[in-house]
Amino acid sequence: MRRLLVPAGFALVAAIVAPSAFAQFTPVVPESPNADGIRTSYLFITIFTVAIFLLVEGLLVAFIWKYRRRKRPRFEDGAPVHGATKLELAWTGGPVIVLFVIAVFVFAELPGIKNIPTATAGEEQLEIKVTGRQFYWQFEYPNGVVAIDTMRAPAGVPVKLVVRSPDADVIHSWWIPALGGKIDAIPGRTNQTWFRADKPGTYRGQCAELCGLEHAQMLASVEVMPRLDFTAWLEQRRTDQTAGTGELGKETWGGVCAKCHGLAGEGGVGPRIAGSPTLTSPQSLATLVRHGRTGPQGVMPAVGSDWNDEQITALVSYLKENPPSGNAG
């Protein structure tokens, strides 16, 4: 009875786990042509790996069963086998063919994944500068609009991303799985990637390189909007930013300051800052975030070494209107 129960139990567990476990191993639904190329390659290679796994494990189990000892004495050798030319040719030629087929397929897919579509006349293309910093993503649009952690992009338009990290920072990795592969943000180097999302929606990702204490907080998302909505958003942001107001202040507080000091300024990895006069003084705040601080009061990195005055003003006006209470939750 037990002989039957154990395999039956395994089969039951496998039947329950298998579909959801399989879903864990498949890439997310692609929403950009390059992400689609990655998934197609993954699935193509998976066909071979699964087939080879089943073949090898199947033969292993079959041979263990077929050539089990039975009643032979423990130390009796099996019949010697000398050469099997056809078999040897098969297990040499087979893998060569499999690897060749996979290589051809991947090289055929690669340009569609890696190469940024060249902008042709009459076709729109958008370029966004992406900067990875401890511990936030900063985006800069061609008209100078700055955004933190949430990128907005127009649907159906190829978006070229120019990805870097400041010299004094560390390596981060830009990755929105539904919108293509990872690309590292490396100090002293400029990398490029792209996406073209046809469906409006929010696509989430995460810094994919362990970059320090708050790496897990370094989330990113891309909000794909209908073209006209995007244009309107970008123009509004430009106006707000010139005036030193708008969402940028809130984004900077939540995306940069709060990750270490808490959303209410209550303190966390960094000290409590609620009520600090620095928060409402553009000059002190600019000096602090641009140059950082070392000393008995503690070390504050230069988190905003390249922030312009508009960003500082937006942050200060947000903090004046919404002073951090100091009470978490």
Q: Could you tell me which residues are beta bridge partners of residue 151?
A: 222
Number of residues that bind ligand CUA (CB under 6 A): 9
Tell me if 259 contacts ligand CUA by CB under 6 A. no
Site for ligand CUA in 274-303 (CB under 6 A): none
Closer Cβ to ligand CUA, 130 or 234, answer by number: 130
Return the residue of 116, 146, 179, 207 that touches ligand CUA, per CB under 6 A: 207
Cα separation of 140 and 110, whole Å?
Answer: 28
Q: Kindly give, in sequence order, each residue whose CB lies less than 8 Å from that of residue 135, ignoring residues fewer than 6 positions away.
A: 207, 211, 212, 213, 214, 215, 217, 218, 259, 260
Query: Which one of the spans 1-9, 74-82, 209-217, 299-307 is the region binding ligand CUA (CB under 6 A)?
Result: 209-217
Rg over CA atoms, the chain: 28
> Which candidate, 190, 188, 184, places its Cα nearest to that of 209?
184
> Looking at the DSSP assignment, which residues form a beta bridge with residue 220?
205
The nearest distance, CB 184 to ligand CUA, in angstroms, is: 10
Q: Cis bond leading into 135, ω under 30°?
A: yes
Kind and range of the H or E element at 291?
A: helix 282-291
Which residue of 132, 180, 246, 249 would you call a contact of ligand CUA, by CB under 6 A? Answer: 132
Closest-CA residue to 314 (of 128, 145, 134, 164): 145
Q: What is the DSSP string of 221-250?
A: EEEEE-HHHHHHHHHHHHHHHHHT-SHHHH
* Stretch near ligand CUA under the rule CB under 6 A, chosen from 109-117, 119-127, 186-194, 205-213: 205-213
Q: Which of 179, 186, 211, 234 binds ligand CUA (CB under 6 A)?
A: 211
Q: Please choose, out of 1-9, 76-84, 207-215, 309-317, the segment that lies near ligand CUA by the rule CB under 6 A.
A: 207-215
Is 169 a residue that touches ligand CUA (CB under 6 A)?
no
Q: Are 220 and 193 in contact (CB under 8 A)?
A: no
Q: Which of the stretches 31-39, 57-65, 211-219, 247-255 binds ligand CUA when contact is defined by CB under 6 A?
A: 211-219
Q: Are 42 and 205 in contact (CB under 8 A)?
A: no
User: Site mask, ligand CUA, residues 217-246, x = CB under 6 A?
Assistant: -x----------------------------
Residue closer to ligand CUA, measured from CB, 165 or 241: 165
> Is the CB of 147 or the CB of 286 nearer to ligand CUA?
147
Q: Shortest gap between Cβ of 316 and ligand CUA (angstroms)?
A: 26
Do residues 168 and 134 make contact, with C-beta atoms less than 8 angstroms apart? Answer: no
List residues bridging with 147 in a β-sheet: 139
Site membership for ligand CUA, residue 215 (CB under 6 A)? yes
Site string for ligand CUA, 1-20 (x = CB under 6 A): --------------------
Interaction site with ligand CUA (CB under 6 A): 132, 135, 172, 207, 209-211, 215, 218
